[in-house]
Structure 1
Amino acid sequence: MRNSTCLLQPSLATTVALPVIYSFLFPAGSFGNILTAWIFSRQVPTKRTQYIYSANLVAANLLVCSTMPFLAAYFARGYQWTYDSGACRIANHLGTLIIHVSMYATIIILCSTALSQYATLRKNSDTQYSQAANETFYRCVLEKFCQSKFAKYFCIIIWLTVFCITVLAIAYNVQVESTEEFQRCYSVRVEIGDFSTMIAACFATACFFVSFITVLLAYYSLTRHLSKIQKNTCIEKRHLIYSTVKRNILVIQMILTICFLPYHIFRPIFYVLRTSNDCPQLNYLVEIKNFLTCLAAAKSSLDPVINVLSHRRVKKSLYGLFTKSTPEHDKRKADIFTQETLEM
């Protein structure tokens, strides 16, 4: 590796700001996601498709949050650790590796949630598309995402993939550690990796953009579909339902755009510019990468806030925690179709 001789020198932004941010995100995200999981376990039918996606999303969020103490310690003291120390191995394996793998599990689950909501709306829509190709695609692909059995097995496949990737990556890192020696933990080897790391990063980036474009197309197709319905039929009774589905998909799109898109735009730039022999530039690139990773990880801590703002069932459950009883009319108010379709 051409930059292997470059000695990374973390600035105060890395050794102070990042540990503080992760130390704040960890308790906030852990408490919020545990509370959300408790609400889902008590209030939501476990066989519903949206519950399956939401429960797995909460699990992915908790896994990301669990890595934050290791990352905080790594950025605060990693430049003082030796590469073969136990602290460095734990931070590298339980911090950097798992947070990235869990991040892509989150992205895939978010994409699946958007497709599920869109497919369910199509399934219950009065107006059908005239194009046979669209109908075939819907029945063969999209319809699967609103089936609870498919959602369950799809999430199992996601977690099996996460487990296999994690085990293989740890085994590979252990093998490299036994054949090479490095001076410091906060180094080019950890922050950039080798050629195999770059290949894995390129594949993960491609997966993100596929998911990003898929959600974007779902939102665009939904907008067009609702426009066609409004021209042909009266949808006043279901206007709230359609608007909620559209809003939920838009929220997912905004999460992908704000939290994940900057990191994945910068990643190809990072791997192109890292070949330079300019060591100060490499330090800046590494620190930008780490802050953009932190931005992506922050999504897991912000999810509970989004649930409170977006989902009526979560609001009602939180209201019940701080009052003696939930008003009776609130229990009868929920629309059946909305409950079956929209709550994530």
Structure 2
Amino acid sequence: MRNSTCILHPSIATTVALPVIYCFLFITGSFGNILAAWVFSRQASTKRTQHIYLVNLITANLLVCSTMPFVAGYFAKGHQWTYGSDVCRVAYHLGTIVMHVCMYVTITILCTIALSQYATLKKNSDARHSQAVTKNLYKRGLQKFRQPKFAKYFCIFIWLIVLCVTVTAITYDARARRGQTFHTCYNVKVEIGEFTAKTAASFATACFFLFFLTVLLSYYSLTRHLSKIQKNTHIGQNHMVYRTVKRNILVIQIILTACFLPYHIFRPILYVLLPEEDCSKINYLVEIKNFLTCLCVSRSSIDPVTTLLLDKTFKKSLYSLFKKSTPEKHQRRTDIFIEDSPPIRSMMERC
């Protein structure tokens, strides 16, 4: 790349603000996700689909949080480290590469949770409406996302891909470092990437927009379906179920929009606007990209807070862990992602 001779000079926003933000996210995210994992291990059923997805989501969140100290060190001292040093390799491999890979794991699982919520509602809705919608939109494949066996295999498949991508990226980077002329760890190659890195980033961006549109379509289809039901039938007690599932999918859509969408919109723009020789503009664009990346990974830290604020069952389960519970209360525990109400329990226990 012609602009590889450009030397990046990070501003105080990169060397001070970003490390402080990542350290704060590491503390809050580690505490919140460990607490959420503890609640799940004590309260949730291992045979429920939502539990399987949420456990894998928490695992991905913890992996993202574990990379934050390395990323903070990279932004704070990366412009002082030599490119071929061991500390640069560790910070880049355990920081940037693992963080980005796990970030897309969280996106995939979030999309899967939305489809699972949507499929669960459709399975328990009126048969006439359910069959019509499923046939037109997701057909039989939609119901796979609510099956515990499929959820386990699907999550295993995701982590196998993560392992392959991570090992391949680290191996490729180790070979690419030979003969490089960069003097500092914080450089254009790491921040922007060459042809292979750009191709992988473009593919990941395309996958994100596919997931984004899938969740958006699910929410739109659910809203339209509920509107028809309310006009033609009286849904009665099931109204709470519909409202809860609709809210959960909306929360996932908001998370994808607020945290991930700005980064994935800017990434292709970065490649288009990238000047050939203007280092000042390159520095400016790189710093915008880094702050948008920070916005993406911040979701892994605030996700437990979002669950606590929006989910009544999670709140009740968390509170019950700090007081003595009777056996009857343990039998009444429901899925962590669905509110605790009689119609929901009767419908969701079959999942």
User: How high is the TM-score relative to the length of structure 1?
Assistant: 0.94
Q: State the 4+ residue runs in structure 1 displaced beyond 3 angstroms.
A: 129-134, 136-139, 321-337, 339-342
- Per the alignment, residue 336 of structure 2 pairs with none
Task: Tell me the equivalent position of 1:268.
Answer: 268
User: Deviations along 1:243-294, whole A, 9 cap, x unmatched?
Assistant: 0000000000000000000000000001111243211000000000000000
Amino acid at match of 1:110: L
Instruction: For residue 177 of structure 1, report the CA deviation from its aligned partner.
Output: 1.1
Give me the CA root mean square deviation. 2.0
- Superposed displacement of residue 331, structure 1: 6.9
Q: Which amino acid in structure 2 is aligned with residue 20 of structure 1?
A: V
Q: Tell me how far 1:317 sits from its aligned partner.
A: 2.0
Mean alpha-carbon deviation: is it higher for 163-172 or for 133-142? 133-142
Asked if the contact 2:222–2:246 (Cα under 8 Å) also holds between the matched residues in 1, the reply is yes
- The correspondence of residues 41-56 of structure 1 with structure 2, limited to 5 A, is 41-56=41-56
Unaligned runs of 5+ in 1: none
Q: Which residue number in structure 2 is paired with residue 301 of structure 1?
A: 301
Q: Distance in 1 between the 2:343 and 2:184 partners?
A: 57
The count of residues paired between Structure 1 and Structure 2 equals 342
The answer as to whether partners of 1:116 and 1:145 remain within 8 angstroms in 2 is: yes
- Corresponding position of 1:154: 154
Amino acid at match of 2:239: H
- Residue 10 of structure 1 corresponds to 10
Structure 1 counterpart of 2:279, one-letter code: C
Q: Conserved in 2, the CA contact under 8 Å of 1:118 and 1:218?
A: yes
Structure 2 counterparts to residues 72-87 of structure 1, below 5 A: 72-87=72-87
Other structure's SS at 2:237 match: coil
Residues 310-335 of structure 1: CA deviation (Å, up to 9, x unaligned): 22222012212444458978975943
TM-superposed CA distance for 1:220, in Å, is: 0.1
8 A contact 2:134–2:140 mirrored in 1 = no
Q: How does 1:180-329 map to 2 (within 5 A)?
A: 180-325=180-325
> Within the alignment, does 1:335 sit opposite 2:341 as a pair?
yes
8 Å CA contact retained: 1:57, 1:109: yes
Task: Return the alpha-carbon distance in structure 1 between the equivalents of residues 44 and 261 of structure 2.
Answer: 31
In structure 2, the partner of 1:140 is 140
The more displaced of 231-240 and 215-224 is: 231-240
Letter in 2 for 1:335: S
Which secondary structure does the structure 1 equivalent of 2:205 belong to? helix
Q: Distance in 2 between matches of 1:265 and 1:341?
A: 37
The residue aligned with 1:68 is 68
- Superposition deviation, residue 100 in structure 1: 0.6
Deviation digits for residues 135-163 of structure 1, max 9, x if unmatched? Answer: 26544211111111111111111110011
The secondary structure found in structure 2 opposite 1:84 is coil
Which runs of 5 or more structure 2 residues have no equivalent in the other structure? 334-339
CA deviation string 1:214-236 (max 9, x = no partner): 00000000000101111121112
How far apart are the structure 1 equivalents of 2:251 and 2:86?
Answer: 41
Q: Secondary structure of the equivalent of 2:129?
A: coil
Shift of 1:56: 0.5
Using the alignment, how far apart are the partners of 1:156 and 1:265 within structure 2? 29
Partners of 1:197 and 1:329 in 2: CA distance:
52
- The amino acid of 2:274's aligned partner reads R
Letter in 2 for 1:183: H
* TM-score, with structure 2 as normaliser: 0.93
Identity %: 65
AA at the equivalent of 1:189: K
Q: Which residue does 1:177 correspond to in 2?
A: 177
Contact 1:10 1:283 in 2 (8 A): yes
Pick which of 319-328 and 254-263 moved more: 319-328
**Do 1:110 and 1:252's aligned partners in 2 also have CA atoms closer than 8 Å?**
yes
Question: After the TM superposition, which of the residue ranges 134-143 and 150-159 deviates more from structure 2?
Answer: 134-143
Counterpart residue type for residue 288 of structure 2: I
Distance 1:227 1:128 in 2: 15
Q: Distance in 1 between matches of 2:313 and 2:7?
A: 52
Tell me, in whole angstroms, the C-alpha distance in 1 between the residues paired with 2:163 and 2:328: 45
